[in-house]
Amino acid sequence: MSTTIENLKWRYATKKYDTSKKITKEHLQILKDTISLTPTSFGLQPFKVLFIENPEIRKQLHAVSWGQSPVVDASYLVVFANYNDIDANYIDAYLKNIETTRGVSQEALAPLKSKIDSSIETFGDYLPVWTSKQTYIALGILLNAAAELHIDATPMEGFDKEQYNRILGLTEKGLSASVIAAIGYRHAEDHHQHFVKVRKPETEMFETI
């Protein structure tokens, strides 16, 4: 059986974390690297990822996260925050990065710049929704990478985004909390780890046309 399938069967949305266990620096770096390699539209990476470790900040976040214990008990709380706008400066910095990394001239990148500019203009008020959706791709990459390392993870949408923005100072940075995930190690007493996964049968889930 593929180790990918084995790891995905092993993982679950952990409800209770062992506060005595901490993710190593090496594994944390691997998780960051995998997030960095997340595919995004145009490669713009229109989000920022915060790894929250400070217990006082996490206590504040816990109060606006429906009382979910993973927010404070896991090794880290990961906050995916999308940019509310992609302006000319952001696009120019991205193109400059391509120029430096690949040795491509700005003249050669002109068609890409034009395509990005026109797409961003077309999005209009939908832009923050689009950038927020990009964070979910990164979340999926994180969950898979964590499972491979046998690090537990709990994706969560149950939190007050406006309060997260306030506590973490995101609004003034042009960011908005999109989705969060706790990462760490399951507690031996978390009975959810023994539940058999419930999924739709393939005949109901998939269709080939």
pLDDT in tens, 129-159: 999 999 999 999 999 999 999 999 999 999 9
Judge contact between 10 and 151, C-beta under 8 A.
no
CATH class of 3-85+129-205: alpha beta
Alpha helices in the chain (DSSP H): 3-10, 25-36, 55-63, 70-73, 88-102, 110-123, 127-148, 161-167, 202-205
Which pLDDT does position 2 carry in this prediction?
79
Which pLDDT does position 179 carry in this prediction?
98
How far apart are alpha carbons 3 and 11 in whole angstroms?
12
Instruction: Measure CA of the first residue to CA of the last residue in the chain; give whole Å.
Output: 27
pTM: 0.96
What tokens does 59 get?
């206590």
How far apart are alpha carbons 161 and 165 in whole angstroms?
6
Sheet holding 76-83, edge to edge: 47-52, 76-83, 175-184, 152-156
What tokens does 52 get?
């929250």
Q: What is the pLDDT of residues 100-120, one digit of tens each?
A: 999 999 999 999 999 999 999
Which pLDDT does position 1 carry in this prediction?
52
Which pLDDT does position 185 carry in this prediction?
98
* Low pLDDT (below 50) residues in the chain: none
Strand partners, 78: 51, 181
Which pLDDT does position 18 carry in this prediction?
98
